[in-house]
Amino acid sequence: MKKKLLALLFGSVLVLAACGGGNNDATEDNGTDNGGETTTADAGDAEKLYEQSCISCHGGDLSGGAGPNLQEVGAKYSKDEILDIIENGKGAMPGNLLSGDEAAEVADWLAAKK
């Protein structure tokens, strides 16, 4: 019984960690102030975005965990389908973890995983 409760709590923490963590201040990761504006240059590359928003469920090597394996997701879904999943969610995955240019950049990167 204790193992089941511990597993449930651990799973809940993973889900909550994936849903939160937004940085609401106007300071970039490198400590410079961008005046509160978001630019595509500030978005960073797809892998960095993945590490910030997706790694907790899909794993550092895309092998999955709480979320599905993404190592060959491009063979199953098109870039547009991946983008739709990122923006709107699917199954237990919430939508809007990434949006706009960031979501498109990660979708393009994942679509190349075949």
Task: Identify whether 94 is part of a domain.
Answer: yes
In this structure, what CATH number is given to the domain that contains residue 101? 1.10.760.10
Which amino acid is present at 19? C
The H-assigned helical ranges of the chain are 2-19, 40-43, 46-53, 55-58, 73-76, 79-88, 100-111
pLDDT for 35: 44
pLDDT for 27: 38
Q: Are 18 and 57 in contact (CB under 8 A)?
A: yes
Residues in the chain: 114
pLDDT in tens, 63-91: 999 999 999 999 999 999 999 999 999 99
How far is the C-alpha of 80 from the C-alpha of 90, rounded, in Å?
A: 14
DSSP state at residue 94: P
Task: Identify whether 28 is part of a domain.
Answer: no
pLDDT for 41: 39
40: its two tokens: 């595509």
Task: Identify whether 45 is part of a domain.
Answer: yes
Task: Identify whether 34 is part of a domain.
Answer: no
Domain of 55, in residue numbers: 2-19+41-111
Task: Identify whether 36 is part of a domain.
Answer: no
pLDDT for 25: 43
Task: Identify whether 105 is part of a domain.
Answer: yes
Written as tens digits, the pLDDT of the chain (114 aa) is 767 666 666 666 665 555 555 444 443 444 434 444 444 434 359 999 999 999 999 999 999 999 999 999 999 999 999 999 999 999 999 999 999 999 999 999 999 999
Question: What is the model's pTM?
Answer: 0.62
What is the domain count for the chain? 1
Task: Identify whether 31 is part of a domain.
Answer: no
Task: Identify whether 30 is part of a domain.
Answer: no
pLDDT for 102: 94
Give every CB contact of residue 5 below 8 A, 6+ residues apart in sequence: none
